[in-house]
Amino acid sequence: MSSPHIRWAGPRALLIELDSLETVLAVHARLQETPLPGQVDVLAAARTVLAVFDSRASAQAARAAVAIMDRETAAVDAAGADPVRIEVVYDGDDLAEVGRLTGLGADGVIAVHTGQLWTAAFGGFAPGFAYLVGETDALTVPRRSSPRTAVPAGSVALAGNFSAVYPRRSPGGWQLIGRTAARMWDLDREQPALLRPGSTVRYVAVREVVEVTEPAGQQGNPAGRDMAAGAPALEIITPGPQSLIQDLGRPGFGDLGVSPAGAADAAGARQANRLVGNLPGDAVLETVLGGLSVRSRGELTAALTGAPAEAEIRSGSGSRPAPMYAPFPLHDGESLHLGMPAAGLRTYLAVRGGIDVPPVLGSRSTDLMSGIGPSPLAAGTVLPVGPADRGRVVGQPEPPTLHPGLNQGGTGSAPVVLRVTPGPRDDWFTPQSLAALTGQDWTVTAESNRIGVRLDTTAGRTPLERSRTEELPSEGVVAGSLQVPPSGLPVLFLADHPVTGGYPVIAVVVPEDLPVAAQLPPGALIRFQAVDPGTMEPLRPGALQQPQPTTPTPVANSL
């Protein structure tokens, strides 16, 4: 094999480019089997492996460690399992069109689809969605020119040289050739995903299958635990525009199509837990633009952090203000009401003991991209509160973690500076665009959400322009990635970002600045500052290119 190209994907992740799917699966299997120190996640894609680490130091050490991996051993281990049998009724709406596009006819498509072994290369946009590569290219077809708004669960489809099964009802532009009853994703199984990278599949034609229905219990029920009489709890009176249960997320499931999720402003969530004496990863409430009202059942200790909002505690005897960034009591029957934040977007409410809903894949966070975890909160929901750890003390008032340059609306203010490292695909853009990313201001649009901050140019500025126009095979992406679609307007991925993307990433916001990005309101101005991913030192103005190692990384023959 030729030498892989190792690119930085932010200061804590490496994108390893390889020369074939076989090598991708081999390297991925080895990293899964024997994780490198500090490795948090590893994600296979068409021609790359994304390895994510817990720190910049771990990522730097991993560049050298990759050199001594044994590709041959990993390849044997990855290929050992028996193929998964997936029964298919070939009656898809696009079967005739695929037959025409390939010149095989409908019967020929079925024969080729069932007559070869398919290998799961990498996960997709939904939990359990796996891109399968066949042994031939005979079924290579384009995506539909007009995607469907809803593809039924269990649909068997083709696009490019891939085959896949839709695990749940979702929009999609693939060519539908059949349907199956195979359950691709089920949280009730020990291994929720039927297929993982390296799994092999044999499609089998049948005359009839039981129709697939949406699996029950794919989202945690916020009130799913039976609460003892008199146990402390928090009742939702009104949720405001959006209120979610969040903790520090569920990293490590990228191969299953599950994003890390977790609090968008992790610094704010950690501070809220610290103030009430919780562990950093305990579950809190994340609410957007105020409007949240809750009632205490039992005696609670609470704290508000993140975006500062006027808060009032009401009871039968009157009302009093609730402080920000300090613990306060919330007595039995009292209600807490949040107003519109004076700055930022997201306010966090923690209660001592944490929100004690059932975890899903080890986390209580709501993931809006994957549809995993507790549902968004609704009026009348009662949330159990866990027992307080008496060994942890309630904290003292603290300064806010919110960036001082933020204000509601953002117009007319100085831009908020976010540090970025060169992206793994910075070489897909013109020199003028590389300079423009850090040389001009960008505006946050109203279409932003937990998946990503959508940006627009300021007056008189132009969008980014690519120097390469071919299609980029889907590859892993991390939170903070600045992905650039054909419009040339970047999208800054946040906590619920998709695990893979097909648009080039020009730069990556450093993890320490993501809490700032998560609090940017529509209209806020951003200025990006380029820093070196290894040293975090500022790069010269206009410089945004992957740094070259001073000595070659010896990965060519032993990977």
What would the pLDDT profile of 516-543 be if each residue is shown by its tens digit? 999 999 999 999 999 988 888 888 766 6
Q: Is 458 within 8 Å of 399 (Cβ atoms)?
A: no
State the pLDDT confidence band at 69, using cuts at 50, 70 and 90. Answer: low
Is the pLDDT higher at 76 or at 124?
A: 124
Return the H-helix or E-strand segment holding 105: helix 105-114
pLDDT of residue 226: 58
- Angle between the 105-114 and 95-102 helix axes, to the nearest 10 degrees? 90
Tell me the pTM: 0.87
Measured distance CA(515)–CA(524) in Å, rounded: 15
Q: How remote is the C-alpha of 91 from its chain's centroid? A: 34
Q: What is the pLDDT of residue 211?
A: 61
Of 143-157, 211-225, 309-323, least confident by mean pLDDT is: 211-225
Q: Which of 40-54, 319-333, 395-409 has the lowest mean pLDDT?
A: 395-409
Q: How many CB atoms lie within 10 A of CB 369?
A: 22
The region, left, alpha or beta by phi > 0 then psi within -120 to 50, assigned to residue 354 is left
Bigger pLDDT: 171 or 301?
301
Mean pLDDT of the chain: 88
pLDDT tens for 1-40 read 456 689 999 999 999 998 888 888 888 888 988 999 999 9
> 3-state DSSP call for residue 249?
coil
Confidence tier at 401 by pLDDT (50, 70, 90): very high
Give the number of other Cβ atoms within 10 Å of residue 454's Cβ: 19
Which residues are CB-contacts of 7 (< 8 A; sequence separation ≥ 6)?
14, 15, 16, 17, 424, 546
pLDDT over 60 at 294, yes or no: yes
* Residues in a beta bridge with 305: 348
| 225 alpha carbon, distance to own chain's centre | 27
